[in-house]
Chain A
């Protein structure tokens, strides 16, 4: 190949601004490749995309069968709860662990030296969490419709799915916070310290003892569940106004995202 056929290797005009269209393309590309690489990382994609379905089938369908017979509405509640579970994992771990590892490996150094549009890297991580949430939701939906005994209308399921996908954001923000503060080896541990208690203490799957029930409100997972149930009109299990729960989630996103950005801006 003869290199001289290339028009020019150097663009000498400086001081011009990049067209908005190209800036948007940069954001899109960053998001696209972040999702793509995570899908290609089997250690990540398999547990988070494949695992929620068997877990749901075992705990949410088989073991819960007697409870569902007693009160058919429980099936809907369990579907919502396991959806939250499916959405939380990739957001917390996919964002948190990846960010911690990448900081250690010096990824951010190059990103910061290159003219990466501001925030593109973090936005890409957040959108990756939403893409994974959407994929996980599709697998769960299929399982729920086939064997889950849910009695929700198509519109209700659609609303819940949309809420869940957007609801990945607060957990992604917590992931960013973890990834921005701890090392790659500590991130999974810290992630689990948050993930596991939240999973159970939010009352997503099992009825909580009374004294724990009132504390469920401190967990974002509880609020995501409430937003999903509330907006879909499952009034039987709607305990907190969805607008309030949504406000809590926005607050969590802003707080943890802000703290992560603050930290990354200082240390890279």
Chain B
């Protein structure tokens, strides 16, 4: 099982669910068609848009919360045992429930009376004379009902757990449960399976107002079935998923599909329920059943989409997310009176709803965050709510103790290689492996490009030269090993802003003119050359106003070179730059390259041609089959790869010739011997001495490809 020390993604999800609750309540007064008296006030500018937003968010926010709660509950239970679990839960759930209610309920009552007085034109309506007596257990839990239900559900889950442990002594039931959970999550069937129980209980409710989904059980201490089943399945499922934490990875991949499902199901629900809630219980029938199923499906599609999204994008430790996650519990506990008071304040102002809604949200969040910062984070309240008290610090959110260093603040770790260190590395490959399917492109390559040098990378086709460059440019990621660019990652745009590049086989916009292509590319860099100077330098002024599509292959290469240098790069990658150029154009390119080297630019150049390396390079690295097989000055490498092919008709045996010094390879083709030698003269002398009947002697310089083949064999 992977080691999930701290699940940052789920922390974020829980915070999201809670903060969504704040938004939900902040928008409540804008729902069109609300019966006066249900909420503290009905805003004078109702909004269908807010209504849709609230409807959507209300589908899943509490179920999502209970899922995460179940997940973390098992985590805590595993870590602390039953006694520790209950001690922690009493402190962090029971105490906030009791203490919170004592403060929140009277405050809410005051705000509500104020709001209702305003709603009914200055006087509170008298309660109807025929008001039915309160049913047993009636109690205004307020929005803190979720704490009460958490405690109830903990009891239920732990009782079930004890029962299962007693019945399932050999673990087969638990294995089965795990297999079902795993299978349903992987196939995406989990959303459907989980939707079944809750939709059944929703359907069975006779007084179900469909618009509000799972009924909010805030008016009685006797649990309601639909809510208990809805949130109970969520909590239990979270508990079960914690048994196989790696299942979270499935949602990381499948979140877009779940999102699509969620949007579809939500749209369907909305089309049935309407934008404004109808306060009549749904009549039994296929429509109600269909809505219940669709709504429950939406609950779980949303939940899995959001969990997957968080796994995908919020898995890393991030100070801001952590801070908000810590603050969210406090914010949710105390937000309601503040939000409602703001709603009452702006409720009858003649403003557009968007402005009022924004004012309520911004003002309440500001108040809540400030109150968290000064009343909670470093006080006993924070100790109770979040289990820890952060030390006070002078400015901003302090770094949590367990956040990995350098996680969030990229600017602070931007690479600044010291300019006076003449030989520091500009780009590195460290034990890099890369394969494409079955083909191994790089097999543990180590390569280091030093500041100010021109490194020529030589090698036959398929040696891995272009792969190495693609890794440095961030186009590929290594299977293993590390790739460094200017002391950082090639994936960071800020690093690539100092890099120029000319690749093989690239397309450029055919309709754009050369001048425009240069102008566009230059604008990606901080301090580029003026376009005119780039044109002059690369001698392509005459091409400036021609569309790229109309250029010859060689002219296109010249333009690509111009694009490579237009950003005044301090590191330049040139992949086979002179292929297809005529002699004059190649000379121009080489001159510019030399000039850039003189000014301190570092260049990596791949080539098939030893002459090109010879003309420009300080250092040559020879790659073959994805490995570095030789590296050194041009002269050293030339002696290494400089081979002579001797061909003759002779009766000498292969074994005999192979045993001679300076012979690196020998084979027989028809009746001729083909000898590869490092010292041609010595071998020819010996050949003539050993065999009087040597005929048709031919001696020629081996080409680079042949030399590479031999080198590769030697290296193997």
Residues of A near any B CB (own CB < 8 A): 1, 3, 6, 8-19, 22, 25-26, 29-30, 33, 36-38, 40-41, 102, 105-107, 109-110, 112-118, 217, 241, 243-244, 246-248, 251, 255, 258-259, 262, 268
Contact = CB atoms under 8 A, between A and B. Distances in A.
B529 A17 contact: no
A161 B324 CA distance: 41
A129 B521 CA distance: 22
Contacts of A9: 529, 537, 565, 568, 592, 595-596, 599, 601
B352 to A, nearest CB: 12
Given A11-B570, A114-B521, A37 B512 contact: yes
Given A109-B475, A244-B49, A258 B523 contact: no
Interface stretch (B241-249, B408-416, B618-626): B408-416
Given A3-B536, A114-B521, A17 B494 contact: yes
A37 B548 CA distance: 11
A144 B563 CA distance: 46
Contacts of B53: 247
B52 A109 contact: no
B67 to A, nearest CB: 23
B509 interface: yes
Contacts of A26: 523-524
Contacts, number: 155
Q: Which of B275, B523, B537 lies at the interface centre, i.e. has the most chain A CB atoms within 10 A of its CB?
A: B523
Interface stretch (B197-205, B231-239, B256-264, B335-343): B256-264
B533 interface: yes
A111 to B, nearest CB: 9
B511 interface: yes
A15 B417 contact: yes
B493 A110 contact: no
B516 interface: yes
B216 interface: no
A115 B524 contact: yes
A255 B275 contact: no
Given A30-B520, A115-B496, A244-B52, 5 more contacts: A3-B591, A3-B595, A12-B419, A110-B506, A110-B508
Contact of B537 (A6, A109, A118): A6
B509 A33 contact: yes
A6 B415 contact: no
A241 B568 contact: no
A251 B305 CA distance: 15
A110 B591 CA distance: 24
Contact of B48 (A29, A244, A259): A244
B428 to A, nearest CB: 15
Interface stretch (B497-505, B642-650, B652-660): B497-505
Contacts of B547: 40
A243 B475 contact: no
Nearest to A112: B475
Contacts of A247: 49, 52-53
Contacts of B536: 1, 3, 6
B568 A10 contact: yes
B127 interface: no
A243 B47 contact: yes
A244 B520 contact: no
A17 B601 contact: no
B474 A113 contact: yes
Nearest to A120: B524
Interface string B667-680: 00000000000000
A25 B407 CA distance: 29
A106 B512 CA distance: 16
Contacts of B181: none
A64 B383 CA distance: 73
A33 B512 contact: yes
Contacts of A241: 48, 275
Q: Which of B475, B509, B525 lies at the interface centre, i.e. has the most chain A CB atoms within 10 A of its CB?
A: B509
Interface in B504-558: 505-509, 511-512, 516, 519-521, 523-527, 529, 533, 536-537, 547
B: contact size bracket: 35 or more
Q: Which of A8, A37, A109, A110 lies at the interface centre, i.e. has the most chain B CB atoms within 10 A of its CB?
A: A110
Contact of A14 (B47, B498, B533): B498
B503 A109 contact: yes
B473 interface: yes
A237 B512 CA distance: 44
Contacts of B509: 33, 37, 107
Contact of B506 (A36, A106, A243): A106
A25 B563 CA distance: 17
8 contacts: A9-B537, A12-B600, A14-B498, A15-B416, A40-B547, A105-B507, A110-B507, A113-B470
B570 A10 contact: yes
B271 interface: yes
A38 B510 CA distance: 10
B52 A8 contact: no
B569 interface: yes
B494 A18 contact: yes
Given A243-B47, A268-B475, A14 B416 contact: yes
B475 A113 contact: yes
A102 B507 contact: yes
Nearest to B417: A14
B486 interface: yes
Nearest to B521: A114
Given A37-B511, A109-B506, A114 B501 contact: yes
A27 B209 CA distance: 49
A210 to B, nearest CB: 16
Contacts of A25: 523
A95 to B, nearest CB: 15
Contact of A33 (B411, B494, B503, B516): B516
A178 to B, nearest CB: 16
B33 to A, nearest CB: 13
Contacts of B529: 6, 9
Contacts of A217: 271
Contacts of B570: 10-14
B520 A113 contact: no
A180 B512 CA distance: 22
Interface in B162-218: none
A9 B601 CA distance: 8
B633 to A, nearest CB: 23
A37 B549 CA distance: 12
A19 B506 CA distance: 29
Contacts of A18: 494, 497, 525-526
Contacts of B511: 36-38, 40-41
Contacts of B501: 110, 113-114
B568 A8 contact: yes
A10 B48 contact: no
B648 to A, nearest CB: 48
Contacts of A258: 256
Contacts of B599: 8-10
A113 B563 CA distance: 12
